[in-house]
Amino acid sequence: MPAESAIHLNISGMTCASCVGRVEKALRKVDGVQEATVNLATETAAVQGSATVQALIAAVERAGYHASEEDATPVAAPPTGMPRETRHLLLAALLSLPLLAPMLLMPVGVHWALPGWAQWLLATPVQFWLGARFYRAGVAALRARSGNMDQLVALGTSAAYGLSLFNWLAPSQAQHAAPLYFESSSVVITLILLGKWLEARAKRQATDAIRALQALRPLTARVLRSGIETSVPIAEVSVDDEVIVLPGERIPVDGQILDGRSHSDESLLSGESLPVPKAPGDRVTGGAVNGEGRLRIRTVAIGAESALARIVRLVEDAQAQKAPIQRIVDKVSAVFVPVVIAIAGVTLLAWGLAAGNWPQALLNAVAVLVIACPCALGLATPAAVMAGTGVAARAGILIKDVEALETTRQLRTVAFDKTGTLTIGKPTLVRLHALDGDGTTLLALAAGLQQGSEHPLAKAVLDAAHERGIAAADITAITAVAGRGVQGGRGDARWVLGHARWLGELGVDLTSAQILANEASNAGQTQSWLAGHTEQGWHLQGLLAFGDTPRPQSAQAVATLRAMGIRSLMLSGDNRAAARAVAAEIGLAQDDVRAELLPDDKLRVIRELAEQGPVGMVGDGLNDAPALAAATVGFAMGNGTDVAMHAAGITLMRPDPRLVAAAIDISRRTVRKIHQNLFWASIYNLIGIPLAALGMLDPMLAGAAMALSSVSVVSNALLLRRWAPQAQD
């Protein structure tokens, strides 16, 4: 018996959430399978158990889909050229427009129509070529003893097409113009194809998160073998190999520093806003960016065991665990389809047997199907979605898929990342203390030592000096001391600027500013100490403290959500003191702060919150990607990483946390419109179907009623265009 293991399969042919259920059911029936999870977004399946790959593939094939074993290569880039969904949508629109033109021209007094043969030529490829997918999906659902929207589309459009063909070819219609309904069948298929195209685009975007994560891993590494540096593919690096990383390079492996000092920018991995000092013995993470020093690293983890690979798996797993939301229309159609078919059948038999007028019986039965054609039902959701997402985009809110739009309204808790989300995301000089009281000279000396440096703290010093109009002191012989700070001199004078440990090693007495340093530490601020050297030795001149400043809009965002009955929390990879200091500034309670979290810690917190109800996650970095994917709805800041934006369902195009409340508002309004549209679409059917069955509504009027229902649905959806977010100063 094969050993139990996780088998990953590529699945093709799935079109909707019901397909996921059928594939999972087929896989679970295979002997040896303990659990099977299918991810519609990535078109993959994860199977736990002892079953063979061949048995699993065979089960999927019997269910009507295609499967193959997933390899370990990175997610392929999307194919170039126009996708199949786009081609079919454009072709359907081009063929349907001439059929729709007479209806559009009639209100302006233009009475014109294409001859029957021309309408037939235009409608036929839309019905049987571009619309073939609905027939196939409808038959598959029928075999599974279920109803879906595809069956409604196939039945309704076939009825309209068949009646049109009958009226066109019937000898009795030769003396006058026959009523044709080719435009109904074509337009319905075109609109439904539009919805399918939107779904397919959202599905393709789901793999972009994985692709962006994998792009962080360098393709090669500089390995030291036999004393010679050799560039090799990353796949050839082994545990215990010594890797050389130059300044500015991305670290290729997880490892431990053997030689060298530097700073590591781990903001994408840990959420830490400031570069982390690194010295021999410290661990470094693959994907982080090396700062100013040359590092020699011993490899401790590669491939699937690296931190970056674990984050990739976390994103994949979180996406797979998202239960697909059953579309409201599918729920309605599951009951609606058999009911309509039964009514049409009863109508045909009742009129035929009772009155003996089988042609009239056929027309009445077709009238039932025509008025029940799901044009309004098909428009109910996409019309509101397109209107809602359109106005949201103009407000700076990019909603990636319908699921995010539907579920955002349900949020009762929103968790915010701190760095780059609630804060600006870069260090600024927040405190300047000169022991002699001359802050201008202290800042000028610090700026002089930092000239030409690309270090984030150096930029903060130079920016502060520029804002205050203070010229940098003339200091020469400036040297960066990796992992410690910077030093320089002018004549006999010498200055150093760095962390307290280095100044302590030089013998500088720091006790005079220790109280201020403790206050800065309690506030989560990073300190740099400046000391000068004279004939009497070293003496401390001052202290500079750096912090991450909250965004001006953060406090209002928290207050607005609170007014909407939504709880706000902060999740941060920064130290606890820094997180609590920011929370106090923006109006968050200390109990609503979670600090010093790694990516899997954030994921754990989100899952715990999700057990209590729908939860939103707002973030901008790589470390936020798993939590964004696991949340009921993920919000990515537009100034953040591509990984975060791909993993989230909603992207805020401006770095403004107040847009979260606006997104929730437009979600509530849009879903309300969907419910209203479904109500009106149902009212037309509840009234029209009985009238058609009783022979009081001929197919022409049934078609008009169907068109009127569509106009009502679209008009109601367009009311969303008047929405605008609350005034934001």
Which residues are known to be catalytic?
A: 417
Q: How many other C-beta atoms can be found within 10 angstroms of the C-beta atom of residue 626?
A: 31
Q: Of 29, 36, 85, 96, whose CA–CA distance to 59 is shortest?
A: 29
Instruction: List strands edge to edge, sheet with 493-498.
Output: 423-434, 537-550, 526-534, 493-498, 485-490, 476-481
Tokens found for residue 539: 């003496």
Strand partners, 417: 571
Q: Residue 35's CB: how many other CB atoms inside 10 A?
A: 12
Q: Give Dmax over CA atoms of the chain in angstroms.
A: 121
Q: Identify whether the C-beta of residue 406 lies closer than 8 Å to the C-beta of residue 671.
A: yes
* Cβ contact 487:494 at 8 Å: yes
**Residue 536, φ and ψ in degrees, nearest 5:** -80, -5
Do residues 333 and 16 make contact, with C-beta atoms less than 8 angstroms apart? no
Per the listing, tokens 């010594």 go with 242
CA nearest 478: which of 448, 440, 508, 500?
A: 448
Q: Is 677 left (phi over 0), alpha (psi -120 to 50) or beta?
A: alpha
End-to-end Cα distance, the chain:
67
- Of 274, 300, 276, 296, the C-alpha closest to 286 is 300
CB 244 within 8 A of CB 250: no
Q: Which amino acid is residue 360, in one-letter code?
A: Q
Would you state the structure tokens that stand for residue 67, as one six-digit string? 């499967």
- Report the distance separating Cα 620 and Cα 643, nearest Å: 9
